[in-house]
């Protein structure tokens, strides 16, 4: 069976085609290119009918389009049965993207505590124990958001693209911005990891998201880098629902 997993994020729509639970193709497109992208996917995979999707902000028009094109569409939300115990104080406010990551951790790393760090538009930190209980975590601005904030909320600081910073102290405005954005993000991630390591002897560290590989090169702690873990979680949740 062909399955299309769709992760509708804040910036990109990412997708994965699997066959018999094995990934065969990944891709992404901008939300404005939705119709063209699905035309191309259907042309390449005419037998495709099964869809699983999570979204942090797609339009109702897109959902109508999706259901018109495919016969078996699963839209994941906070009420969808999941293989973890949600101990979040406000479960109705928990983002579906964070829930998908939790499902991925429980299904792909069973009976293991996990700290999942998703480095996308925002950086989210999510903690589950070895019993599959989800406790929550933290949310902070992502790298691009930090660069944009410095540019938008000041009069003269330029908008820069992410770059591995030189050693402190930065001897130019650009160097100082890169240090302030990238190095502080690295320190933040390492701080959360070290805080959990001080409390828990054994757990896995998973780094995912669009900036995962860039940041992983600068981290000192051993960590699983899985840039497409959101898509893996979507597929794992679908298999849980249909097993």
Say if residue 178 is in the same domain as residue 219: yes
What would the mean pLDDT of 63-71 be, rounded to a whole number? 83
Q: What's the pLDDT at 232?
A: 97
Tokens of 163: 């770059």
Q: How confident is the model at residue 208 (pLDDT cuts 50, 70, 90)?
A: very high
The answer, yes or no, to whether residue 55 has pLDDT greater than 90, is: no
Q: What's the pLDDT at 201?
A: 86
pLDDT in tens, 82-125: 999 999 999 989 999 999 999 999 999 999 999 999 999 999 99
Say if residue 62 is in the same domain as residue 21: yes
Say if residue 96 is in the same domain as residue 179: yes
Q: For residues 189 and 11, what is the distance between their CA atoms, to the nearest angstrom?
A: 22
Residue 143, in any domain of the structure: yes
Q: What's the pLDDT at 135?
A: 97
Say if residue 109 is in the same domain as residue 202: yes
Q: Write down which residue in 75, 96, 118 finishes a domain.
A: 75
Say if residue 116 is in the same domain as residue 27: no
Beta strands in 72-148 (DSSP E): 72-75, 85-86, 114-119, 122-128, 133-141
Q: How confident is the model at residue 46 (pLDDT cuts 50, 70, 90)?
A: very high
Say if residue 144 is in the same domain as residue 46: no
pLDDT in tens, 140-193: 999 999 999 999 999 999 999 999 888 889 899 999 999 999 999 999 999 999
Say if residue 71 is in the same domain as residue 90: no
Say if residue 95 is in the same domain as residue 142: yes
Say if residue 209 is in the same domain as residue 160: yes
> Does residue 97 carry a catalytic annotation?
yes
| CATH number of the domain where residue 116 is located | 3.30.420.40
**Average pLDDT of the chain, as a whole number:** 92
Tokens of 191: 């701080």
For residue 71, the enclosing domain spans: 2-75
Looking at the structure of the chain, the number of domains it has is: 2
Residue 12, in any domain of the structure: yes
Q: Write down which residue in 42, 75, 108 finishes a domain.
A: 75
Q: For residues 160 and 146, what is the distance between their CA atoms, to the nearest angstrom?
A: 10
Q: Write down which residue in 31, 50, 75 finishes a domain.
A: 75
Q: What is the pTM of this model?
A: 0.92
Say if residue 59 is in the same domain as residue 161: no
Helix (H) or strand (E) holding 19: strand 13-19
Residue percentage of the chain with pLDDT more than 70: 98
The answer, yes or no, to whether residue 204 has pLDDT greater than 90, is: yes
The answer, yes or no, to whether residue 74 has pLDDT greater than 80, is: yes
Is there a contact between 178 and 165 (Cβ–Cβ < 8 Å)?
A: yes
Residue of 7, 97, 126, 211 with catalytic role:
97
> Mean pLDDT: which of 47-51, 70-74, 143-147 is highest?
143-147
Q: What's the pLDDT at 183?
A: 95
């Amino acid at each position: 069976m062909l399955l299309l997993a769709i992760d509708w994020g804040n910036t990109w729509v990412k997708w994965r085609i699997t066959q018999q639970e094995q990934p065969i193709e990944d891709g992404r497109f901008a939300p404005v290119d939705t119709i063209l992208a699905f035309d191309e996917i259907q042309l390449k995979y005419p037998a495709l009918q099964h869809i699983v999707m999570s979204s942090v902000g797609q339009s109702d028009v897109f959902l109508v389009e999706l259901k018109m094109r495919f016969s078996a569409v699963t839209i994941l939300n906070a009420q969808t049965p999941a293989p973890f115990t949600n101990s979040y104080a406000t479960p109705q406010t928990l983002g579906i993207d964070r829930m998908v990551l939790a499902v991925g951790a429980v299904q792909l790393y069973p009976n293991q505590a996990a700290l999942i760090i998703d480095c996308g538009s925002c950086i989210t930190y999510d903690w589950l124990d070895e019993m599959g209980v989800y406790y929550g975590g933290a949310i902070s601005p992502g790298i691009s958001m930090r660069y944009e904030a410095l540019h938008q909320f000041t009069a003269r600081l330029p908008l820069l693209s992410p770059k591995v910073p030189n050693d402190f102290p930065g001897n130019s405005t650009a160097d100082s911005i890169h240090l302030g954005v990238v190095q502080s993000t690295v320190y933040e991630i390492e701080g959360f990891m070290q805080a959990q390591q001080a409390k828990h002897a054994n757990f896995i560290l998973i780094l995912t998201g669009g900036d995962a590989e860039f940041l992983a090169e600068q981290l000192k702690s051993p960590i699983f880098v899985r840039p497409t873990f959101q898509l893996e979680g979507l597929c794992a949740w679908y298999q849980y629902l249909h097993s």
